[in-house]
């Protein structure tokens, strides 16, 4: 219905696998537009609102942009105490303020289960836009948050977690990807995505396919939150993780010694995960040094190679 050829100012749209739509404004800038919302992943309303806002803002950072304006999108049960709804909105608003983003309104409806998120607008300069199709063979893959949020928050719903484990995943899920995005802009990176519901391997495959390269991950270099392996051993993955495995496993080749439990950790559906960025080899040393100097976590977990699909080894 909406043929991209009819809309030359639509730089990234529905036909692309990217994290947000991008519309040309002039010769220097484009508008980045995205929306996301979901049901609670933690028990505390303020933290839920902050995580949902962080997740929504992330898509703009993943495109190389800087968000500036947001609208709330909320569905709340009619019998929900007003103070709980207020805390959800406050968590989102304070996270937006931290990001330098104005919340200018929004829309709320009634629903049986709470849902919250944002519509987010941002700007991106042409020379700084990142896409999933921006990888080149030889690029190094860098991840900016650990994995294991899905399996840990599912364990929370089952009453299995410790307070320390939940504090850890909340801190990561509510950490803005602003620093990672700024670092990517500083080094002129062209390939990136954020790791959310389709898991590390699902989103990585989207990048590999769009860039027409293969990817190789080193399992032992991939970071996880402290409770991830424990709860993986008890197989408390969310349903989305199983869906990811069923669909994306056909594109992934695992080393024989990586058991099913550890494979599933790479299919684990994440909420508000980090950026997966492609760093040219010649920029890697300076990139990692700068990341350390700005307290931006960055783990080297693999590389782009000639070929197709994804290989996971145990180096």
What are the residue boundaries of the structural domains of the chain, listed by start? 4-127, 130-313
Q: What is the pLDDT of residues 200-224, one digit of tens each?
A: 999 999 999 999 999 999 999 999 9
pLDDT of residue 315: 73
Q: Which residues contact 250 (CB under 8 A, 6 or more apart)?
A: none
Structure tokens at 76: 């709340």
- The answer for residues whose C-beta is within 8 angstroms of residue 119's C-beta and 6 or more apart is 33, 34, 35, 56, 70, 71, 73, 106
Listed as ranges, residues in the chain with pLDDT below 70 are: none
For residue 16, what pLDDT is reported?
81
* CATH C-level class of 130-313: alpha beta
Residue among 193, 218, 174, 239 at smallest CA distance from 12: 193
Q: Which CATH number fits domain 4-127: 3.30.1330.10, 3.30.420.40, 1.10.10.10, 3.30.70.100?
A: 3.30.1330.10
**DSSP category for residue 65:** -
């Amino acid at each position: 219905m909406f043929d991209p050829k009819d809309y030359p100012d639509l730089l990234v749209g529905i036909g692309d696998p990217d994290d947000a739509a991008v519309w040309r404004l002039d010769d220097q800038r484009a508008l980045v537009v995205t929306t996301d919302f979901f049901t609670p992943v933690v028990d505390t309303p303020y933290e839920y609102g902050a995580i949902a806002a962080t997740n929504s803002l992330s898509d703009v950072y993943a495109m190389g942009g800087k968000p500036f304006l947001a609208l709330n999108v909320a569905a709340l049960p009619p019998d929900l105490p007003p103070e709980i709804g207020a805390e959800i909105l406050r968590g989102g608003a304070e996270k937006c303020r931290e990001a330098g983003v104005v919340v200018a309104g929004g829309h709320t409806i009634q629903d049986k289960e709470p849902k919250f998120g944002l519509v987010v607008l941002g700007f991106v300069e042409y020379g700084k836009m990142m896409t999933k199709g921006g990888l080149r063979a030889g690029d190094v893959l860098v991840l900016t948050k650990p994995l294991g949020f899905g399996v840990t928050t599912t364990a929370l719903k089952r009453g299995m977690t410790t307070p320390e484990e939940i504090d850890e995943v909340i801190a990561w899920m509510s950490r803005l990807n602003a620093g990672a995005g700024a670092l990517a802009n500083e080094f002129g990176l062209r390939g990136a995505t954020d790791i959310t519901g389709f898991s590390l391997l699902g989103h990585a495959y989207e990048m590999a396919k769009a860039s027409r390269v293969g990817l190789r991950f080193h399992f032992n270099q991939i970071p996880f939150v402290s409770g991830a392996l424990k709860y993986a051993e008890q197989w408390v993955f969310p349903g989305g993780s199983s869906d990811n495995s069923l669909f994306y496993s056909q594109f992934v080749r695992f080393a024989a010694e990586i058991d099913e439990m550890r494979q599933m950790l790479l299919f684990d559906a994440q909420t508000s995960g980090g950026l997966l960025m492609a760093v040219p080899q010649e920029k890697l040393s300076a990139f990692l040094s700068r990341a350390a100097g700005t307290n931006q976590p960055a783990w080297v977990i693999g590389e782009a190679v000639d070929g197709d699909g994804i290989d996971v080894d145990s180096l």
